[in-house]
A and B are shown apart, each in its own frame.
Chain A
Amino acid sequence: MRVLSLDTATSVLSVALGTGERLIGETTMIGARDHSVRVFPVIDALLDAAGWEMRSLEGIVVGDGPGSYTGVRIGVTAAKTLGYALRIPVVGVSTLLGMALAFSTFPGIICPMIDARRGRVYTGVYSASERIETANGAGSDLTCLNDEGIYPMERVIEVVQSLRSASQAPVLFLGEGVQRLRPAIEPTLGHCSQFTDESHTLNVRAGMLIRPGIELLQTRDSGAAGTLVPRYMQMVEAEAKMIHREQRNE
């Protein structure tokens, strides 16, 4: 099954091609404000490099957030547009899951983070649930231990600690802003915590979305391009109003 995957939810633009058996190629680059201009030329160039016809694609996988409003919308819109035009199914996979999957062999807890601004991050806490042995090697399937959501930065450590409970499992923090969090985390977790190098890691990689995406494409009867919606994961209006009321009462 020939699949195109893409993710533009963050400052990273990533596009990949793969099949059920393997990842064929990936283009990943950082550059915040021009995903909408670049995404189709990058897709074209990658298809060309792989020698794949656009019309040979059988499914599309998109990182459906969370992330920046504009970024999530660009990715989902690009994926749905292609899905409609090519009459092929489109499925969404969590951008956070994709980030964690790049480190799926990490022996412990994986905490991918995306800057949600105003001192908040989008995060989910993942750990390996089972080891997958295939003819070509081993990988891990990841389970999300909490609900992915938006958290004040200072609460991330609490959330991680509560899920880690008494275990001494090491924790890998990755994503934008991890270095900012480091001073708050290291005193608590010490050598159990690890951080990715922000300037030399492109945290979001569309190639990681292909395997979970193909599972969805094969197991679900949905996948109709029209049904996919972005996951913004922002505060709902009711909460915003509550804060507004509190501010007025002060």
Chain B
Amino acid sequence: MECRSNGPTETERLGEQLGGIVEVGSIICLAGPLGVGKTTLTKGLAAGLGICDPLTSPTYTIIREYTGGRLPLYHMDLYRLATASECDELGLDDYFYGDGVCVIEWPEKYAQWMPDDRIDVRIKRASDDRRIIAIRSIGERSAAIVERWGRA
């Protein structure tokens, strides 16, 4: 599935729609270059989950946890991690197979350990503000979510 966004507001709205659909254990891998709108999409997703806390980039903390919404949101940014063994030490599986929703920025840093059932989202720059958002589901549960997202 491919979406187009004409700016940050639209990207955020797409995220908000997804936030209304995701389930316990949903994994969203967000790929795309710096500044393309990954955190913007996640902000929308947090709002869609009913999370009121302001969302900030987890680049330096690696993982941020948001509770207080319909489901906990675990927002991760693996950009700063150099090796897969550094990822091992974070115990990411506890989050992946936990009680909330995971959004993972820079998933390619730990590609071989991304769960089998997940939604891969890749944001590409089309022009200054416009974006092309490619969405691919892997596994049955994610397929059902992406299908509902497409209809939203």
Contacts and interface: CB of A to CB of B under 8 A. Distances in A.
**A and B bound?**
yes
B111 interface: yes
B interface bracket (residues with beta carbon within 8 Å of A): 10 to 19
B91 A69 contact: yes
Contact of A70 (B83, B88, B91, B115): B91
B113 A69 contact: no
Nearest to A33: B99
Interface stretch (A13-21, A103-111, A151-159, A237-245): A237-245
A244 B98 contact: no
Interface in A7-40: 32-33
Nearest to B115: A118
B97 interface: yes
A244 B85 CA distance: 13
B61 interface: no
A134 interface: no
A240 B84 contact: yes
A68 B84 contact: no
B94 A244 contact: no
Nearest to B67: A33
Contact of A241 (B84, B89, B90, B115): B84
B84 A244 contact: yes
Given A33-B98, A240-B112, A69 B93 contact: yes
Given A70-B91, A244-B111, A237 B83 contact: yes
A237 B88 contact: yes
A199 interface: no
Contact of A237 (B84, B91, B116): B84
Contacts of B115: 118
Interface residues of A, number: 16
B112 A32 contact: no
Contacts of A243: 112
A100 to B, nearest CB: 24
Contacts, number: 38
Contacts of B83: 237
A227 interface: no
Contact of B97 (A73, A117, A240): A117
Interface in A90-132: 117-118
A247 interface: yes
Nearest to A72: B91
Nearest to B113: A240
B112 A69 contact: no
Contacts of B111: 244
Contacts of B90: 69
Contacts of B89: 69
Contacts of B88: 234, 237, 240
Contacts of A247: 112
A73 to B, nearest CB: 8
Contacts of B84: 237, 240-241, 244
Nearest to A71: B94
Contact of B94 (A68, A237, A241): A68
Nearest to B72: A33
Interface in A59-81: 68-71, 73
A32 B99 contact: yes
Interface in B10-45: none
Interface of B: 83-85, 88-91, 93-94, 96-99, 111-113, 115-116
The 3 closest A-B pairs by CB, nearest first: A69-B91, A237-B85, A244-B112
Given A118-B93, A240-B112, 6 more contacts: A33-B98, A69-B91, A237-B83, A240-B84, A240-B85, A244-B84
